[in-house]
Amino acid sequence: MRSDDHAALHAFVESRRTALFRSAFLLCGDRHEAEDLVQTTLVKVVLGGRRHGRLDNIEAYARKTLVNTFIAARRRFWRREQAYGEMPERAAEAPDTDTGLAVRAALARLTPRQRAVLVLRYWEDLSVEATAATLGMRENTVKSHTARGLAALRAEMAEVMV
Amino acid sequence: MSDDVRELLGRAAEDAGRPVISTEAVYAKAGRVRWRRRAAVTATAVCAVAAGAFAVPQLTSGPDAPQTSSVASLAQEPGESPRDVRLLKLLPHLTGTVEEVSFADIIKHVSPPPPEPSRTGPIDGQYEIRQDGGVGYLTIDVMDAKTVARKLGGSPQVENLCEPENGEPARTDCVREELSGGRVLTIWSDDMDYGDGGTPQWGPELVARLTLADGSVLGVRDSTGFEADVVQGPMLKTPPLTRAELRELVLRPELLPAK
């Protein structure tokens, strides 16, 4: 790996940490789990970059790693419903906590894959095709997950989304 | 429509705040993973060349083995027996030792150590069980109905944990019992093999969940331990408590908050 690749990798980790954390938070709804997800993702990105000696489309690689790590972790029942070893809560910065809570409640009712589709499509602004490639799904599956996810959000947020 | 959705997701994402992990922490962790992989390769090579039994101890006690560490007991409330002492009294069949630990310390190596977590049950905590030359863990966690609802993000609690959900396979060896007073006890096995590549890699465990009529939940993990860069000792071959012992523990009233 060249030194400018090292620098690019370092800059990516530095600059994309918060953005990945927010996507992770939307996926899992828990700050601590989101921290773990982002750390696991970035460690894989760093190791992958060093191992392969190149940084082709690092953004896509990080995004794919994040959602797949999330989906794999969600299979672990304990994480889905009950965290262990609670870390101290940080003060929330939420200016609109009620709406945020309602959206997270709606997301929590979806399956992990449906949630991942919504986050990739509407938060990360990916196309159906790119979302399908990221999640290893058929495009029709992405479309059906999108429809169900939006319906759930719509039901939850009827007043906001009129 | 998509702008509306993005705006809603944006509001939900604002609640996240900023991550506390740093770039340095990411690189440090990546360094540890690389070190461990190299160590594993080295150990494999040693085994192949030596082709003898003497190589095996090197895997567990040589310089390439995970570091072991010990942790001091956590602070206890004045005037009360330490929680691990109280827990030990509830485990008459246990042959090993019990010591309260903090996963934030022994797994995440958080420095400085975080403040004591809030506890709902009198013996809530994370406990290291040393027996048969290994180290396993028990975690005890009572959540009141409000906390459960918050964790579930508004979704209802799953009625029967033994049934498959969301297209995922059913839990292994899952046994559900409806008990007096509207309580429901579910115990299952979890091999914890999720292949997500993270650390620590937890070993197999038994999991018990007691749901009370008021919606509160007592959860206990009976774990064989974990593998990581720094461990307290080798994993146990079986969880510290048998299924019957775990059941007996979960039904002890001493684990629940006083009425």
> Distance between alpha carbon B34 and the CA centroid of its chain, in Å?
24
Nearest CA-CA distance, residue B62 and chain A, Å: 25
Encode burial over A76-109: b for 16+ CB neighbours within 10 A, e otherwise: ebbbbbbebbbbeeeeeebeeeebbbbbbbbbbb
- Residue A1 or A59, more confident: A59
Which of the four pLDDT bands, split at 50, 70 and 90, describes residue B244? Answer: very high
CA of B128 vs chain A CAs: smallest distance (Å): 13
Span(s) in chain A for CATH 1.10.1740? 1-82
Q: Which of A35, A84, A101 to mutate to test the interface with B (most CBs of B within 10 A)?
A: A84
Q: Give the right CATH number for A1-82 from 1.10.1740, 1.10.357, 1.10.287, 3.30.200.
A: 1.10.1740
Contact assignment for A44 to B20 by CB distance below 8 Å: no
Per-residue pLDDT, B129? 94
- B208 forms beta bridges with B187, B220
Q: How confident is the model at residue B43 (pLDDT cuts 50, 70, 90)?
A: very low
Residue A126: its pLDDT value, please?
Answer: 92
Bridge partners for B210 per DSSP: B185, B218
Give CA separation, B210 vs A80, B92, B115, B127, B218, in Å: 17, 21, 27, 19, 5
**Across all residues in chain A, what is the average pLDDT?**
78
CA dist B24 to A5, B29, B163, Å? 17, 9, 43
Predicted pLDDT of residue B147: 83
**With 80 as the cut, is the pLDDT of residue B199 above it?**
no
Q: What is the mean pLDDT of residues B133-148?
A: 91
Mean pLDDT of A108-124: 89
Q: Where in chain A is the domain with CATH 1.10.10.10?
A: 96-162
Give the pLDDT band (50/70/90) at residue B30.
confident
User: Which of A83, A104, A122 lies nearest to residue B5, judging by beta carbons?
Assistant: A122
Residue that wins the pLDDT comparison between B49 and A49? A49
Measured between beta carbons, the chain A residues lying within 8 angstroms of B192 are: 76
Residue A87: the pLDDT is 36
Contacts of A33 in chain B (CB under 8 A): none
Q: Is the pLDDT of residue B214 over 80?
A: yes
B206 pLDDT more than 90: yes
Convert the pLDDT of each residue in A124-136 to its tens digit: 999 999 999 888 8
CATH code of domain A96-162: 1.10.10.10
Q: Is the Cβ pair B17, A83 closer than 8 Å?
A: no
| pLDDT, position B5 | 86
User: Least CA distance to A12: which residue of chain B?
Assistant: B23
Check residue A99 and give its pLDDT. 78
User: Does position A22 have pLDDT exceeding 90, yes or no?
Assistant: yes
State pLDDT tens for residues B64-118: 445 555 444 455 555 556 888 899 999 988 888 999 988 877 887 766 666 666 7
When pLDDT is cut at 50, 70 and 90, the band that residue B1 belongs to is low
pLDDT at B44 over 50: no
pLDDT value of position A129: 93
Q: Choose from A73-87, B6-20, B41-55 the range with maximum mean pLDDT.
A: B6-20
The pLDDT mean for chain B works out to 78
**Chain A contact set for B17 (CB, 8 A):** 31, 90-93
Instruction: With 0.90 as the threshold, say if the pTM is over it.
Output: no
| Mean pLDDT of all residues in A135-149 | 90
| Dihedral of the alpha carbons of B196, B202, B205, B211, in degrees to the nearest 10 | -70
Quick one: pLDDT at residue B68?
Answer: 55
Whether the pLDDT of residue A156 is over 50: the answer is yes
Residues of B with Cβ-Cβ distance to A82 under 8 angstroms = 141, 143, 151, 217, 219
Interface contact flag, A85 B117, Cβ < 8 Å: yes
Q: Do B23 and A13 touch (CB under 8 A)?
A: yes
B52 vs chain A: nearest CA distance in angstroms? Answer: 32
CB-nearest to A104 from B12, B104, B108 is: B12
Report percent pLDDT > 70 for chain A: 76
Residue A108 has its nearest CB partner, among B118, B153, B196, at B153
CB contact (8 A) between residue A150 and residue B5: yes
CA distances in angstroms from A128 to A28, A103, A120, A143, listed in the order given? 22, 22, 9, 7
Q: pLDDT band at B171, cuts 50/70/90?
A: confident
CA distance B15 to chain A (A): 5
Cβ distance of A21 and B126 shorter than 8 Å: no
Tell me which amino acid residue A2 is: R
CB contact under 8 A, B141 and A84: yes
Question: Which residues make beta-bridge pairs with B186?
Answer: B176, B209
